[in-house]
Homo-oligomer: A and B are copies of this chain.
C-alpha cells in the first residue's frame, strides 16, 4: 500500500480522499491555489503545497507544479479526484514518467474512452449496445445525410472530442442537416481543435442510468448496481439515487452484465462508471464511460457498504478487489442531493462569500460531504458545488423523507444555495411517484421556482 498520496484536487472530493487515506494509515499531501489557503482540504492534509494562483489553469491544472510537489514531498501515488486532471491521459503519462502511481485507469484507456467515437466503436465490437448512428466520424455532408436517413430523425451531430454540449447540434429534419453539420464542425474545431463529428440517434428524454464498476489488475470486474441520475439541469446532475425505480431485477442484471463486459472490452482497471440511456421501452444504450470517481459515488457506497475510494487505493497498489460479485448486496434506498452555492431565482448564478454560520444535517444514515465550515470561504474561482447530502432509507419514500428532513436542518449563511430549490423537487408528485426522465427539470423548473417564492 502507498505511504503518501498527493491529492490533485480541492473541495469535498479532496476531503473525501483524505479521510479514506487517513483511515488506511496513508499520509496525504494537498495542493492548493493562493486563495484556497484556508480551505478545509488544506487543513486536513498532513502537508499542503501551494501550486499556483487562483486560476485553475495555473494551479489545479498546473502539471509541472503538481508533479514537482509530488516528487519533492516523496509521494508514491496521486489521486486526481474528479474534474481538473482526472481524465487527462497526458497527465497520467507524466505522472507515471515520474515513477508515481496514478490512481485510476491507464492513460490509454482514458484516451480511448475520451474519444467518443473510438469508445463507441470499441463497445459495438464487444456486443455492448450503443445508440444507433454513424460508424465513426462523418467526413462529408453527403455521408451525413445518408446516415440520418438510415437511423431516422431526430438525430444529434456531436463533436468526437466534445463534451458539455459544445460542438453538438440537434437535427429534426433533412433540410437542417447541412447548417447543423457545418456549425457543429466549426464549433468543434474552435473548442477542441478537432473538427471531427459523428451522428447519433437522439433518444428523447431517456432515463440516465449508470453502473458503477470496479476492476483490478487481475482482470476481476464487478458492478455495484446502478445510479439513476435523470434529474439534471443543463446536463448537470442535481439529485441521484440507487437503485432506480425504473429497473426491475431482470433489466438490472442484464445491464450489470453489459457494464462488466464494457469494462472488460477496454481493459479497464480501477473504479469507473458505464453510462447508459434507457428509453421508454427499456432499451438501453451505452453512451460513455467515466474513467474517474464520480461526484455521486456515495449513493453506491450507501447501498453497498463498500468504500469506493479505499477500493481505488487497493486496486492502484495492485491488491485484488476486496469483494466478489456475489458478496455485493444492496441494502435500502440511497439518495443524494447536491448543494450548490447559487441563486436559483437568478438563473442559478453562482454565489460566493464567507460562511457566517453552518449547521449540518445529522442523524441515522445521513451523510454530509462538504468543504464548508463556519468562517470558511466559498471561492468564486471554482465549481459552485459545496456539498452533498446523502441519505439511506429502507425504501424510496423513506429516503425522500430523510432527505427533506436533512435539508430542513441544514443552515448555510453567507452564501445563497439551491437547497430550498432541491427541497421543492422532493415534494414534486411526479418525482415522488418516480415518473421522471432527463426532461424533468426543463419541464418543471419554473413551477418549482414559483413554489420557492411561496415558501419565503
Contact = CB atoms under 8 A, between A and B. Distances in A.
Interface of A: 15-16, 19, 22-25, 44, 298, 301, 305, 307, 331-332, 357-360, 362-370, 373-375, 398, 401-402, 405, 408-409
Given A23-B402, A25-B401, A401-B23, A298 B364 contact: yes
| Residue with the highest number of chain B CB atoms closer than 10 Å, among A15, A398, A405 | A405
A355 to B, nearest CB: 10
A360 B367 CA distance: 12
Contacts of A398: 23
Contacts of A23: 398, 401-402, 405
A384 to B, nearest CB: 20
Contact of A305 (B332, B375, B401, B402): B332
Contacts of A369: 362-363
A357 B375 contact: yes
| Dominant SS among interface residues on chain A | mixed
A364 to B, nearest CB: 6
A20 to B, nearest CB: 8
Contacts of A19: 362-364, 405
Nearest to A359: B373
Contacts of A357: 374-375
Q: Which 3 A-B residue pairs are closest in the complex by CB-CB distance? A: A19-B363, A22-B405, A23-B401
B373 A362 contact: no
A442 to B, nearest CB: 31
A364 B367 contact: yes
A307 B364 contact: yes
Given A25-B401, A409-B44, A362 B358 contact: no
Copies of this chain in the oligomer: 2
A24 B402 CA distance: 9
B363 A367 contact: yes
A298 B25 CA distance: 26
B332 A358 contact: no
A16 B363 CA distance: 7
Given A19-B362, A357-B374, A363-B369, 18 more contacts: A16-B363, A19-B363, A19-B364, A19-B405, A22-B401, A22-B405, A23-B398, A23-B401, A25-B401, A298-B364, A301-B364, A305-B332, A307-B364, A357-B375, A359-B374, A360-B362, A362-B368, A362-B370
22 contacts: A16-B363, A19-B405, A22-B401, A22-B405, A22-B408, A23-B398, A23-B402, A24-B401, A25-B401, A44-B409, A305-B331, A305-B365, A357-B375, A359-B373, A359-B374, A360-B360, A360-B362, A362-B369, A363-B367, A363-B369, A364-B367, A374-B374
Contacts of A307: 364
A121 B367 CA distance: 46
Contacts of A22: 401, 405, 408
A404 to B, nearest CB: 8
A332 B305 CA distance: 9
A77 to B, nearest CB: 19
Contact of A358 (B370, B374, B405, B409): B374
Contacts of A368: 362
A294 to B, nearest CB: 15
A297 to B, nearest CB: 10
Contacts of A408: 22
Contacts of A363: 16, 19, 367, 369
A192 B408 CA distance: 45
Nearest to A387: B362
A16 B405 CA distance: 12
A360 B362 CA distance: 10
Contacts of A364: 19, 298, 301, 307, 367
Contacts of A298: 364
A357 B357 CA distance: 10
